[in-house]
Amino acid sequence: MTQTSADPAVDLRGVGKRFQRHTDRRNSLKERIVRGRARSSEDFWAVRDVTLQIPKGSVYGLIGHNGSGKSTLLKMIGGIYRPSEGSITAQGRVAALIELGAGFHPDMTGRENIALNGSILGMPRKEISAVTEEIIEFSGLGDFINDPVKHYSSGMYVRLGFSVAVHMKPDVLLVDEVLAVGDEEFQRKCFDHLYALRRSGRTIIVVSHGLGQLEGLCDEIAWLERGVVQEHGTAVETIASYLRRVNAEESARNPMVAAVRGEDDESVRAGDQSVHVTTATITDLDGTPLTHAETDTTFQIRLGITAAEPTLGPNVRVALQHDSGTLVSMLSNHRWGVDFGTIQGDHTVSMAITDNPLLPGRYRVHVDIFDYTGSKLLDSWNDAVEFAVRSPRGEIGQGLIDLPVEITFD
């Protein structure tokens, strides 16, 4: 337990939810009669043994793969599902933003729908009329508020839905993947409003796949995997562990992603092949192949070359290309003033990229070998190896590289 709040807004103790497989649900009488009661073997636990204290006035995130149980957990906190075991205590009014504008009637005007939606969310009528103008103002719908919502664009629809839900001033607000609403300006308004809600002591529980978004928004995060809490704690730490797992799993599942390419490759080579590139690998400093390169961490592009005859100081040139087609950099031993001398037989060329400045994304490596004069092509291997750069913090870079920069302020 990283934090035990004396008076949590939501207290989950040993919460579990058992579902029956959908295909085996006996919702026809015939099946019920023919097969009798449910067979327990068809049950599965969507959420199991979850014990969490969500502190009052905090923003709490839930992360995990699809089907990890985070939405089920949210629905249980919101009272839409009953837990099969354990207990949930929530303080005050809980409002679920499972889907924005759920319950809007297409034939009714925006204004009429505000009244209806407010009632459904459990708001007394007096309170609804008190905040109606504020909701309209916030949604920015203007005169459209008196049109039937079926004429609204999807953006207008969710804007109104969001406005209604956040203005009912819940003590606990549950948000499921609905933060990406409207244009950028409205999104900023939404976030400002969520922060304002938090400042006024209300608790927000968010389910999202947008890790970057959550890192900025949440105080704490719980990571669920197959319905079980893997880790919970500060946002930064939990997201980092989650990403480590995701990256490891991805490479285990798909070994081809491992950035190693051998000679058996079918690509057509140019050049006279007197010097030949046999392997191209992305490795760490010890030469261990990597599945991906991390930002700010030194890695190597390691090439195996072989020369059939003694060859005078060849120039090995590596072109680093971003997936988008942009050439990022051209590395070569001649430009860096490194002479290999006369070579024969098998050698390894390692080019270490210190404190990897590349931003997250996919990159390709093309290798060309020229003779000592630089005029004769000995070998050329397009797409020798491809690798991904990932950030342990889950950032998505803008641009290709981080320039070394010093910022001063007078």
Partner 1 sequence: MLSDLYTRRALVWAFANRDFATRYRASVLGWAWSLIQPLATLIVFAAVFTVVFRIQAPPLGNGNGSSYAAFLFTGLVTWNLFSSLLNLSMSQLKSNGELLKKVQFPAWTPILGASIVQLVQILLELAVLIAMFLYLRNVGWTWILAIPILIGALLFSQGLGLMLSIVNARYGDVQYIVAVVLGALYFLTPVLYPMSMIEGKNEILGWIIRLNPMSWYVQAMHDAMYSLVAPSALVIGGLLLGGFLTFWAGFAIFNRWSEDIGEML
- In b/e form, how buried is each residue of 366-394, taking b as 16+ CB within 10 angstroms? bbbbbbeeeeeebbbbeebbbbbbbbebb
Cα–chain center distance at 295: 17
Indicate the residue among 107 and 249 with the shorter CB distance to partner 1: 107
CB of residue 332 to partner 1, shortest distance in Å: 60
CB of residue 101 to partner 1, shortest distance in Å: 10
- Does the CA dihedral 280-250-181-193 come out positive or negative? negative
Residue 304: beta bridge partners? 279, 348
Indicate the residue among 94 and 275 with the shorter CB distance to partner 1: 94
Indicate the residue among 79 and 262 with the shorter CB distance to partner 1: 79
- Does the CA dihedral 197-200-202-208 come out positive or negative? positive
CB of residue 174 to partner 1, shortest distance in Å: 10
- Specify the amino acid at residue 367: V
Indicate the residue among 3 and 20 with the shorter CB distance to partner 1: 20
Indicate the residue among 23 and 27 with the shorter CB distance to partner 1: 27
CA–CA separation, 354 vs 378, rounded Å? 28
CB of residue 182 to partner 1, shortest distance in Å: 20
Indicate the residue among 110 and 314 with the shorter CB distance to partner 1: 110
Write the DSSP string, 238-270: HHHHHHHHHHHHHHHH-GGGSSEE-TT--PPPB
CA–CA separation, 41 vs 394, rounded Å? 39
CB of residue 386 to partner 1, shortest distance in Å: 43
Indicate the residue among 159 and 276 with the shorter CB distance to partner 1: 159
What is the contact surface with partner 1 in residues (CB under 8 A)? 19, 26-30, 32, 75, 78-82, 94, 96, 98-99, 102-103, 105, 107-108, 112, 115-116, 119-122, 124-125
CB of residue 20 to partner 1, shortest distance in Å: 9
For the record, the structure tokens of 384 come out as 């020798």
For the record, the structure tokens of 217 come out as 């928004």
Q: Which of 293, 363, 295 is nearest to 326 (CA)?
A: 363
Q: Under DSSP, is residue 114 helix (H, G, I), strand (E, B) or coil?
A: helix
- Residues 6 or more apart from 120 whose CB is under 8 A from it? 103
- Residues 6 or more apart from 246 whose CB is under 8 A from it? none
Which contacts of 187-194 are long-range, i.e. CB under 8 A and separated by 24 or more positions? 189/138, 190/162, 190/166, 191/217, 193/138, 193/166, 194/59, 194/166
Cα–Cα distances (Å) from 170 to 11, 54, 84, 222, in that order, read 17, 15, 26, 22
Indicate the residue among 24 and 355 with the shorter CB distance to partner 1: 24
Indicate the residue among 178 and 235 with the shorter CB distance to partner 1: 178
CB of residue 267 to partner 1, shortest distance in Å: 52
- Does the CA dihedral 164-170-174-175 come out positive or negative? positive
Indicate the residue among 107 and 355 with the shorter CB distance to partner 1: 107
